[in-house]
Amino acid sequence: MVGIISWIVVGLIAGLLAKFLLPGDYPGGLILTTIIGMAGGVVGGILIGVLGGAGATGFNVWSILVATLGASILLFVYRLLTGDQRRV
């Protein structure tokens, strides 16, 4: 149960940081931001794993950074797919 809660908290923090780093008009509120951050943890973990590092490893600063990287990539791809080129 603690693992699920930590993924939710890491996802929320990462999603908020990614939206701060890439400001713009995005759909959804707090729940979608958390989901983007959690998915970002998976994307960032895969990317860092391919590069030979450790992905998201729990509730720590490294995991938040990895998840933020992945969430930022997801937001960037979202902008490319929706045609919002104003701030890319």
Task: Provide the residue-wise pLDDT of the chain in tens; the chain has 88 residues.
Answer: 556 777 778 888 888 888 888 877 766 677 777 788 888 878 887 888 788 777 666 777 888 888 888 888 888 888 788 776 555 4
Do the domain assignments include residue 66? yes
The whole model's pTM is what?
A: 0.78
Do the domain assignments include residue 87? no
State the DSSP H helix or E strand holding residue 66, giving kind and residue range, or none if neither: helix 61-82
Domain of 59 in residue numbering reads as 2-82
Total domains in the fold of the chain: 1
Do the domain assignments include residue 41? yes
Rounded CA-CA distance 62/88 in Å is 26
